[in-house]
Amino acid sequence: MVYFEGGYHKTNIYLMKELKFKHEIQGPAIIMDQLSTILVEPDCTAVISRTGNIKIRVGAGDLNRVGTELDPIQLSIFSHRFMSIAEQMGRYVGVYSIYHK
């Protein structure tokens, strides 16, 4: 049982080495490899490609439409994120110019 938004779901576990080309796995599921673990969420499907890669198709589900109205909390969060990115870029340019004169 694995908890996803809305509650616990029975979740199958698959070993990557046992999956073959065109194998489809309906979520929720867990795919385990030697170095990684992939979580396939409910309403999603994992498909194994010819080269052994995993492509996850996201299902329809409920969409949250983004409107044009401004949410003050989101506006503040994104404002601070962008300001932090700009400050970090400024620091990088300053350090870069010191060492590459």
pLDDT tens-place string over residues 1-47: 888 888 899 999 999 999 999 999 998 999 999 889 999 999 899 99
| pLDDT(96) > 70 | no
Residue 40: domain span:
2-58
Q: Is 7 in the same domain as 27?
A: yes
Locate all alpha helices (DSSP H) within the chain, ordered by sequence. Answer: 72-99
Q: Does 24 fall in a domain? A: yes
The 10s digit of each residue's pLDDT in 49-93 is 999 999 999 986 565 666 667 778 888 888 888 898 888 887 776
- The reported pLDDT for the residue numbered 48 is 94
Dist CA 79 CA 12 (whole Å): 41
Q: Does 84 fall in a domain? A: yes
Q: Is 19 in the same domain as 54?
A: yes
Q: Does 64 fall in a domain? A: no
Q: Does 63 fall in a domain? A: no
Q: Is 10 in the same domain as 48?
A: yes
- The reported pLDDT for the residue numbered 11 is 94
Q: Is 91 in the same domain as 44?
A: no
Show the tokens assigned to 53. Answer: 């890669």
Q: Is 45 in the same domain as 86?
A: no
Q: Does 48 fall in a domain? A: yes
Show the tokens assigned to 85. Answer: 């990115």
- The reported pLDDT for the residue numbered 14 is 96
- The reported pLDDT for the residue numbered 54 is 93
Domain count, the chain: 2
